[in-house]
Amino acid sequence: MAFVEDLAPFFSTADFAVSAALNGVSVTGIFDNGYAEPFGEVEGRQPTFLLPTASASSVAQGQSLVIGAATYKVRGVEPDGTGVTLLRLELQ
C-alpha cells in the first residue's frame, strides 16, 4: 500500500498559500518572490510558485500566472513526483 498524504492543508490560504490565476484558471499555491542582487549581479533566485500537481497538469512554459497585480511568465515546470509541482517564474 502506497503512502498518500492529504496536501490540502499545505495549500490553505488561511496559512501560507495565495490565490492566483494560471492562464485564467483559479489556482492556489505557495508563492516565493525570491530575491535579486542589486546592480544586476548574477546571484539570486527567481520567483517560484508551488502548487498541487493536479492543478498543474496542463501547465506549459510561456503561460502566464497572475498573483495580485503582478503577471509572471512560467519559465519552468518541475513536478517532484510526490504530488507537488514547482513553477519557475519571470516577472513580466
Q: Looking at the domain assignment, is residue 7 inside a domain? A: no
pLDDT of 22:
96
Residue 55's SS3 state is helix
Q: Looking at the domain assignment, is residue 1 inside a domain? A: no
Over residues 25-77, the pLDDT tens digits come to 999 999 999 876 666 555 567 899 999 999 998 999 999 999 999 999 999 99
For 77, the domain range is 13-91
Rounded to two decimals, the pTM is 0.84
pLDDT of 24:
93
Domain count for the chain = 1
More confident position, 3 or 18: 18
Burial 9-29 (b: 16+ CB within 10 A, else e): ebbeeeeebeebebeeeebeb
Q: Which has the minimum average pLDDT: 7-16, 34-43, 78-87?
A: 34-43
Q: Looking at the domain assignment, is residue 6 inside a domain? A: no
